[in-house]
């Protein structure tokens, strides 16, 4: 199998521990019937954390991709974004050549209509798993189109299955993906991406180690 496509640095272990916790707390908070003292306490702690972190994060948040660019470290977005960013869904994925499959459970944090995953989150999910598949098999590039077709409401808090299949030529990657619950097709996606060249990628700056 070709070398996996990566672009960016690995997330910090601390960040990967924080992301699912923030997502879980958000899920619990939106399920409350009344204000809760634990939320008041958390808000105070988050405000203090915001103040402390803002002193060490660069003022220029443009990503640092080699000389003459911005000042922010760029974390690899090729796969598992939800592992370090609570705004993205988490999933598992198994790749077998031009096919991939996995499972996903959407928490309440991604609810749109009652009991149903927001359609925009599903589009984000498809883009994530398809590009993860592309990167794992070694040929990836920028998304040029993504068409999502909604067949049935996609439930939150339910283990769902998905599968991806792709075809590649010299210029383009075309992927078909399906999200299912048992035998029921919930939604599907067709995505086209540019078949990129690794040599065209800018250099990724490493982390600056504190002294």
**pLDDT tens by residue, the chain, 211 residues:** 568 888 999 999 999 999 999 999 999 999 999 999 999 999 999 999 999 999 999 888 999 987 778 899 999 999 999 999 999 999 999 999 999 999 999 999 999 999 999 999 999 999 999 999 999 998 898 999 999 999 999 999 999 999 999 999 888 999 999 999 999 999 999 999 998 888 788 888 888 876 4
Considering the four listed CATH numbers 3.10.129.10, 3.40.630.10, 3.60.20.10, 3.40.50.1980, the one that applies to the domain covering 13-200 is 3.10.129.10
Token pair of 51 as six digits: 């103040």
- Position 37 scores a pLDDT of 98
Closest Cα to residue 11, out of 64, 74, 75, 66?
A: 75
* CA-only gyration radius of the chain, Å: 19
Whole-angstrom distance, CA of residue 135 vs CA of residue 149: 24
Residue 44 per-residue DSSP state:
H
Phi, psi at 199, each rounded to 5°: -65, -20
Cα end-to-end distance, the chain, whole Å? 40
Alpha helices (H) along 35-100: 37-54
Domain ranges of the chain: 13-200
Token pair of 30 as six digits: 């939106």
pTM of the model: 0.93
Token pair of 147 as six digits: 């068409």
- Position 1 scores a pLDDT of 57
The answer to whether 182 and 44 have CB atoms below 8 angstroms apart is no
Say how far residue 201 (Cα) sits from the centre of its chain. Answer: 20
- Position 211 scores a pLDDT of 44
């Amino acid at each position: 199998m070709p070398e996996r496509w990566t672009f960016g640095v690995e997330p910090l272990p601390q960040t990967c521990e924080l992301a699912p916790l923030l997502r879980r707390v958000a899920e619990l908070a939106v399920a409350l019937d009344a204000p809760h003292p634990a939320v008041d306490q958390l808000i105070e702690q988050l405000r203090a954390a915001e103040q402390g972190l803002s002193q060490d994060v660069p003022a220029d948040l443009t990503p640092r991709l080699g000389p003459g660019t911005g000042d922010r470290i760029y974390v690899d977005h090729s796969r598992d974004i939800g592992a370090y960013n609570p705004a993205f869904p988490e999933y598992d994925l198994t790749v077998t050549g031009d096919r991939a499959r996995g499972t996903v459970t959407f928490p309440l944090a991604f609810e749109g209509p009652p009991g149903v995953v927001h359609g925009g989150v599903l589009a984000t999910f498809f883009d994530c798993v398809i590009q993860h598949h592309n990167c794992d098999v070694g040929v990836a590039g920028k998304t040029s189109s993504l068409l999502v077709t909604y067949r049935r409401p996609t439930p939150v808090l339910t283990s769902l299955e998905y599968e991806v299949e792709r075809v590649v030529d010299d210029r383009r990657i075309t992927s078909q993906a399906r999200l299912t619950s048992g035998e029921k097709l919930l939604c599907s996606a067709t995505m086209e991406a540019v078949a990129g060249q690794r040599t065209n990628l800018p250099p990724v700056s490493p982390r600056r180690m504190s002294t």
